[in-house]
Amino acid sequence: MDEKKITDAEKLAQQVGMTLRAIRKKREISLQELATLTDVSKLTLGKIERGEANPSLTVIWKIANGLSIPISSLLAEKEEVVISRKNVGNKVLSSNEALTLEPMFTDSGYGSLETHRAFLEPMGEYYADAHQEGVIEYVTVMEGRATVQVQEQTYELNTYDSIKFRADQKHGYLNPHSEGAVLHFVMIYTNA
């Protein structure tokens, strides 16, 4: 039997595409209107909806922010009981591949809380644009060390240190060390 093997990246691309199309249709907005809302090109959005493009973390954030939804809404799995295991399930890479984000638990709605596991490469950095208004982010370093930058201020975090900040402003994650860092994110959408 010669079946085409579907990779995790292809599965994620198809899932994001179907979910994005459903949200757009439900809200009765065109691809062009979505492009204006998200600052992502109409061509790229069309490819994402068709499952032909695997969007980067930056693009997924732009789409979620433009639609005022948590990113987990785009990555939603439709199961009653879900176990989140490291390196199993959806993964989203930053464009420079310094940060790998693993949504831990997602649901089919536009819930007000989401959790993620993130792996920050040695000497890696990832800067996020401001999320939608009202997002509060909690970050805990589970392994290694990391620096979190909020606007122009930096905060050094060691293993098990946590930080809370408004994520509706520019922020970033830096790992100036030779070992990787594992971060745990909890995001609360106060305006959801």
pLDDT (tens digit, 9 = 90+) per residue, 126-178?
Answer: 999 888 888 999 999 999 999 999 999 999 999 999 999 999 999 999 999 99
- Considering the domain architecture, whether residues 127 and 156 belong to the same structural domain is answered as yes
- Considering the domain architecture, whether residues 112 and 162 belong to the same structural domain is answered as yes
Establish if 3 belongs to a structural domain: no
Confidence grade of residue 86 (pLDDT, cut at 50, 70, 90): confident
DSSP string covering 49-107: HTT-----HHHHHHHHHHHT--GGGTT----SS----TT-S--EE-TTSSEEEEEEE--
Give the structural domain span for 64. 8-73
The total number of structural domains that make up the chain: 2
Task: Quote the mean pLDDT of the chain.
Answer: 85
- Considering the domain architecture, whether residues 127 and 166 belong to the same structural domain is answered as yes
- Considering the domain architecture, whether residues 100 and 171 belong to the same structural domain is answered as yes
- Considering the domain architecture, whether residues 131 and 164 belong to the same structural domain is answered as yes
3-state secondary structure of 186: strand
Establish if 129 belongs to a structural domain: yes
- CATH number (domain holding residue 26): 1.10.260.40
Establish if 78 belongs to a structural domain: no
